[in-house]
Amino acid sequence: FIDNYDSSFWNKSLFSGCIIVTLFATVWLLFAEYATSNTWLKEYQLAGNPLRRYLIASCLIIYFVRLQVTVWVFQKRRWTWLETITITVLMSFVLYVFAKVGGNNTQGVGFVEVIGILLYLSGSYINTHSEYCRHVWKLKDENRGRLYTEGFFSLSMHINYFGDIVLFTGLAMVTNSLSMLVIPLLMAVNFVFNIIPSLDRYLEKKYKQEFRNYSKKTKKFIPLIY
């Protein structure tokens, strides 16, 4: 984490461009049967349950829109090229895998998928709303240079990351494939053992006692638990 405000225009443009291409390709393949039945793309089309494909496509589009707002509006820090390439490759792969596995699932949509959609929407709201409230709070002159500890961030120091885990768990349930739960699990492990410790060191260095007081009274990741 670099304490350096920068637009990182080219880094973010590369990331956004690759995600757009991935989204277009996955949504196309989810509904390729309607346009490519007699073309060379037929063997790549995802021909699972139609309702599930619509749900997955909707989730991916919502995620893309939220991601762009986060990248271009909420995030002000500088992106390194290593970080850019890493998250570009990983996120493109993750979105495609969700589409491929769920899009090929021919089982009917039921209770599991309904719970998955509720988790997906809840996680999306937790993540985006917390980021939005912090962004608005930081824009006020009297809050410049201060640590944001209000709203959802009063429940967890990294509530936005928790929202990511909830939404990807929900998306895994929409695919109705147990193997897809590995993705949010690996994300949670990365948050707990890599990203959060690194971010905490950065925040303690920047905000000093204000961060120490905050960390003593607030759960680190999962509200009420951890």
Question: Which tens digit of pLDDT belongs to each residue from 54-65?
Answer: 999 999 999 999
Q: What is the mean pLDDT of residues 62-90?
A: 93
Q: What is the mean pLDDT of residues 100-113?
A: 95
Model confidence band, residue 38 (pLDDT cutoffs 50, 70, 90): low
Mean pLDDT over each residue of the chain, to the nearest integer: 92
Residue 29 clears pLDDT 80, i.e. is over it = yes
Q: What is the mean pLDDT of residues 99-104?
A: 94
Q: Which residue, among 88, 98, 99, 91, has the nearest Cα to 180 in the 3D structure?
A: 98
Between 193 and 44, the higher pLDDT residue = 193
7-11 long-range contacts, CB within 8 A, separation 24+: 8/78, 8/79, 8/84, 11/79, 11/80, 11/81, 11/83, 11/84
Q: Is 98 in contact with 171 (CB distance < 8 Å)?
A: yes
Q: Is 165 in contact with 225 (CB distance < 8 Å)?
A: no
Q: Which residue, among 86, 62, 90, has the nearest Cα to 174 in the 3D structure?
A: 62
* Gap between the Cα atoms of 162 and 182, Å rounded: 16
**CA separation (Å) from 197 to 45, 91, 145, 163, 225?**
41, 22, 21, 18, 17
Q: Which two tokens stand for residue 144?
A: 């410049």
Q: What is the pTM (predicted TM-score) of this model?
A: 0.92
* Gap between the Cα atoms of 201 and 195, Å rounded: 10
pLDDT digits 0-9 by tens, 121-162? 999 999 999 999 999 999 999 998 899 999 999 999 999 999
pLDDT of residue 7: 76
Of all residues in the chain, the percent with pLDDT exceeding 70 is 92
pLDDT of residue 151: 96
pLDDT digits 0-9 by tens, 162-189? 999 999 999 999 999 999 999 999 999 9
CA atoms within 13 A on the CB side of 19: 25
Q: Is 20 in contact with 92 (CB distance < 8 Å)?
A: no
pLDDT of residue 46: 84
Rounded to 10°, the helix 159-175/111-139 angle is 160
Model confidence band, residue 72 (pLDDT cutoffs 50, 70, 90): very high
Three-state DSSP state, 110: coil
End-to-end Cα separation, the chain, in angstroms: 22
Q: What is the mean pLDDT of residues 4-9?
A: 74
